Amino acid sequence: MSPISRGFHGRRRTPAGEEGRVPPGQYVTTDFPVLSAGPTPHTPTEKWTFSITQGGGALKSWTWDEMRALPEEDVTTDIHCVTRWSKLDTHWQAVSIDTLLEQVEHQASFVLAFSDGGYTTNIPVQDVTGGQAWLAYGYDGGPLPAEHGGPARLLVPHLYFWKSAKWVRGLELLDHDKPGFWETYGYNMYGDPWKEQRYAGD
Amino acid sequence: MEGTAVRGRLTWQTATVAQIIPETPRTSTIVFDVPEWAGHRAGQHLDVRLTADDGYRAERSYSIASAPGEPVAITVERLEDGEVSPYLTEELRAGDEIELRGPIGGYFVWDPATDNGPLLLAAGGSGVVPLRSILRNRERSGSAVMARLLYSSRSLADVIYRQEFERPGSGLDVIYTLTRSQPEGWRGHAGRVDDALLAEVAWPTGQEPLAFVCGPTSFVEGVAQGLVGLGYPPGRVKTERFGATGGRQ
Amino acid sequence: MNPLDGNVIGGLLHEVFGVEMTDASGTCANCDFTGPVAQTVVYLDAPGTVVRCRNCSSVLMVFARIHERYCVDLRGLAALEAR
């Protein structure tokens, strides 16, 4: 039995009145922690593309300029990291994933997002559509910084933030759920913060 | 290599805080009473684990500041935004219980019996802590190796263990460089360590020196690259990188 | 956030392997670079710990703490020799 550390509380500051916005086991942070599994990629926008792929081939690709020509949305949302921090009212400038997926014909049920540096994460199609997911290139009115996933990252705020792949370069369409990087190591295939689905089996 | 592998399970044990010694405005040394401490080597670290009353846990690593044979102690720098360091430096009191495990480390260690060559120790901020263990070990063991400490600190007030390092007769050369502010009339170095300063303080390679470099990642990489550039074999430049939090995030 | 090095996961490695591993020698399966585990590039922030080759940045090891157990992936290592 571990002794209790007298007077230790850790970082648990949920502002009064915000309790309903914070999923179980989370604390609110005002900064924006940078978590990474590898070196920060630096893909220049001139070389950047985003693709919807299936069976090894690209169904549709956008260059940076083509993507930026798509309708932009201002998104304000709360985000929840599996490492227990939550950040409220984050502001993003983004293109809806609906806008991108609408441009391909498919019957896929799942996507595997893939990023520069090799990161992947899996999400059901119904969770990246219906106005629930974006390709975000702006944060707080400025370009998304590389350390936070710029030039563009996935934003799926209703799931734990490891699903919001940084440095995203595309979505692979699948008919079955395939574990991405952290899911392979035991993290939950779905990741609903409100049900505290952190690990497989939760 | 005998003594390199730490045999047996590394388990969490409950220690009691024996004493807290303020060192500088931002740092304090915490001395522990650890009933089943197996001893340690100079340069090793230990992990500390805190448990809040609702079961929430936080773990951090801290270098051991004391020499083998002395009571186990760590020196903690209080980080503004820290979760654990403010607790350890401001709340913790003598008599409190704390969980720790150690000693840990088989690479960033100095043993006078087996390690040869004049010592070049390079510290960035709180990176000085394991180097102090090495220097205390050098003194306690009666080692005759020459030692030089290059210590980069924000200011003179932030220099830890200054009296100890400057004690006459210690046979230690200390070179400070103060990066953010210097006292009136300061004639020592200012600004970050650069290749020119390294060239000035580094033992010539012909003497087969052994370097230990510890501090923030950017400090360690700059110094290590500089030493390799001066001809130090990479295997003779031991490095330990600390995070912004002084250890594990 | 700058990555750290293998020294900081000494405790984790000891827990997983049962012995001190920071002075163990690791060989990258991607580029064959060999060096002490203490010198690997370590990305510490959970969800898990990712250990990369200092030479080519390839993933050497991944550790994820899932409930009270570790999931360990060592496929990025061609060899690991404890002293």
Within 8 A of A182 by CB-CB distance, chain C residues are: 47-48, 64
Q: Which residues of chain A have pLDDT under 50?
A: none
Nearest to C10 among B9, B45, B216 (CB): B45
Q: Please judge whether B4 and C20 are an interchain contact, meaning their C-beta atoms are less than 8 angstroms apart.
A: yes
Query: How far is Cα A29 from Cα B81, in angstroms, rounded to an integer?
Result: 11
pTM of the model: 0.93
pLDDT tens profile B104-136:
999 999 999 999 999 999 999 999 999 999 999
* Domains held by chain A: number: 1
Q: What is the pLDDT of residue B248?
A: 37
Smallest Cα distance from B216 to chain C, Å: 8
Q: Does B124 touch chain C (CB under 8 A)?
A: no
C26-50: pLDDT as tens digits: 999 999 999 999 999 999 976 999 9
Among B1, B107, B218, the residue with its CB nearest the CB of C7 is B107
Residue B103, preceding peptide bond in cis (omega within 30° of 0): yes
First to last CA, chain C: 31
Q: Is residue A18 part of a domain?
A: no
Residue C1 has its nearest CB partner, among A34, A186, A187, at: A34
The pLDDT of residue A17 is 75
* Structural domain range at position A100: 23-33+48-195
Question: Closest to C71 (Cβ–Cβ): which among A34, A118, A185?
Answer: A185
Q: CA B148, CA B164: separation in Å to the nearest integer?
A: 14
Nearest CA in chain C to A85: C46
pLDDT of residue A1: 78
Can you give the residue ranges of every domain in chain C? 4-76
Question: How many Cβ atoms sit within 10 Å of the Cβ of residue A131?
Answer: 10
Quick check: C66 and A83 CB within 8 A? no
Q: What is the pLDDT of residues A142-181, one digit of tens each?
A: 999 999 999 999 999 999 999 999 999 999 999 999 999 9
pLDDT for B207: 97
Q: C1-30: per-residue pLDDT in tens?
A: 689 999 999 999 999 999 999 999 999 999
Q: Is B63 near chain C, with CB under 8 Å?
A: no
Interface list for A 25-44 with C (CB within 8 A): 33-39
> For C76, which DSSP code?
T
B29 interface with C at CB cutoff 8 Å: no
Across the strands, what pairs with B48?
A: B60, B100
- Which of B4, B104, B243 lies closest to C14 in CB terms? B104
**Can you give the pLDDT at residue C83?**
78
Question: How far from A34 is each of A193, B112, C51, CA to CA, in Å?
Answer: 19, 41, 17
Q: From chain A, pick out residues whose CB is under 8 angstroms from the CB of C52.
A: 38-39
Q: Given the cut 0.85, state whether the ipTM is greater than it.
A: yes
CB contact under 8 A, A8 and B57: no
C59 chain-A contacts, CB cut-off 8 A: 38, 118
Collect all residues of chain A within an 8 Å Cβ-Cβ radius of residue B91.
Answer: 6-8
Give the whole-angstrom CA distance, residue A155 versus residue A128.
Answer: 9
CATH topology for the B13-104 domain: Elongation Factor Tu (Ef-tu); domain 3 (2.40.30)
Tell me which fold the domain B119-242 belongs to. Rossmann fold (3.40.50)
Residue of C nearest to B3 (CA): C83
Q: Is A24 on the interface with B (CB under 8 A)?
A: no
**Do the Cβ atoms of B241 and C4 come within 8 Å?**
yes
For position C1, what pLDDT does the model report?
64
pLDDT of residue B3: 33
Q: Which of B1, B243, B247 sits opposite C83 (nearest CB)?
A: B1
Residues of C in contact with B4 (CB under 8 A): 20, 23, 83
Cβ-in-10-Å burial (0-12, 13-18, 19+) of A76 comes to exposed
CB interface of B with A, residues 2-21, below 8 Å: 12, 14
A128 is a domain residue: yes
Assess B7–C contact: CB distance below 8 Å, yes or no: yes
A161 and chain C: CB distance < 8 Å anywhere? no
Rg (CA), chain C: 12
A5: nearest CB among B12, B51, B81: B51
A96 within a domain of the structure (yes/no): yes
pLDDT of res. B8: 55
At residue B221, the pLDDT reads 96
Nearest to B104 among C11, C36, C45 (CB): C11
Cβ B98–A12 below 8 Å, yes or no?
A: no
Q: Does the distance separating the beta carbons of A147 and C45 come in below 8 Å? A: no
Strand A49-54 versus strand A168-174 pairing type? parallel
Cβ–Cβ pairs < 8 A, chains B and C: 87
Instruction: Inspect the interface and report whether the beta carbons of B243 and C10 lie closer than 8 Å.
Output: no
Mutation for testing the A interface, residue in B20, B34, B56 having most A CBs under 10 Å: B56
Do the domain assignments include residue A11? no
**Sheet architecture: strand order including B147-153:** B189-190, B172-178, B147-153, B119-124, B210-216, B237-242
Neighbours of B230 (CB within 10 A): 17
Give pLDDT < 70 ranges for chain B.
1-9, 244-249
Segments in chain A forming alpha helices (H): 64-68, 97-101, 181-184
